[in-house]
A = this chain, B = another copy of it.
Amino acid sequence: MARDRSTTTRNSEMQISEDDSRLLAMPGHLIRRLQQISFALFVDQAKAFEITPVQYAAMVAINNHPGIDQTALCNIVALDRSTVGDVVSRLEKKRLIKRLNGSVDRRTKSLYITPAGRKVIKDIEPAVQSTQRLILAPLKAGERGAFLRMLKELVHLNNEHSRAPLRLTRAPQRPRA
């Protein structure tokens, strides 16, 4: 290892070594890169709306479930409660959703899409579709289905390893002391 002497060579003219290739070929590293790319493509395609992928996901879920509370939203979009708090507060500031105090359970906040938010969901649709297309564009047409299927398997079967796992219904929690 350590095959060059950057101290004496000039700045960013850097050759990738074999040791680097080991790192760069790791699944974890490639997944991180693909997430960066996917995020950048979305933001770029949807730049007229100034919306991020997570903000979009939250808006769609709120639109599908009017009055949903933040914890239930966590379970759909797979984020922890703190992050969801941040995301919905940004959406509220942009007046794309409303946040009301829950009438049944006064601890909760009930989330609703606004007319402006509904319009964004509708108008942004082409950008969302083209983003998904662009992400998979480098694959051959026949490979895309297989890749997507494996992606789903990896996410669903590794679900419990995530810090904010998707929960379809209330978890089988609390074996009491």
Interface 1/0 per residue, A147-164 and B, CB below 8 Å: 110111111111101111
Report yes or no: B168 in contact with A15, Cβ–Cβ below 8 A: yes
* B contact residues around A12 at 8 Å (CB): 69, 71-72, 74-75, 167, 170
* B contact residues around A148 at 8 Å (CB): 25, 27, 30
* B contact residues around A17 at 8 Å (CB): 64-65
Interface 1/0 per residue, A4-44 and B, CB below 8 Å: 11111011111111011001111111111111111111101
* B contact residues around A137 at 8 Å (CB): 157-158
A2 at the interface (CB under 8 A from B): yes
Q: When A26-B132, A103-B7 are in contact, do A154 and B34 touch as well, CB less than 8 Å?
A: yes
Report yes or no: A132 in contact with B27, Cβ–Cβ below 8 A: yes
A124 at the interface (CB under 8 A from B): no
Interface size on A, residues (CB 8 A): 94
Interface of A toward B, CB cutoff 8 Å: 1-8, 10-17, 19-20, 23-42, 44, 53-54, 57, 60-61, 63-69, 71-72, 74-76, 78, 103-105, 108, 110, 128, 131-132, 134-139, 143, 146-148, 150-159, 161-164, 166-170
Report yes or no: A68 in contact with B14, Cβ–Cβ below 8 A: yes
Report yes or no: B108 in contact with A11, Cβ–Cβ below 8 A: yes
Report yes or no: B6 in contact with A110, Cβ–Cβ below 8 A: yes
**Considering only CB atoms, which chain B residue lies closest to A14 in the complex?**
B72
* Distance of A108 from chain B, by nearest CB (Å): 7
* B contact residues around A19 at 8 Å (CB): 60, 63-64
Interface centre among A61, A67, A150, A163 (most CB of B within 10 A): A150
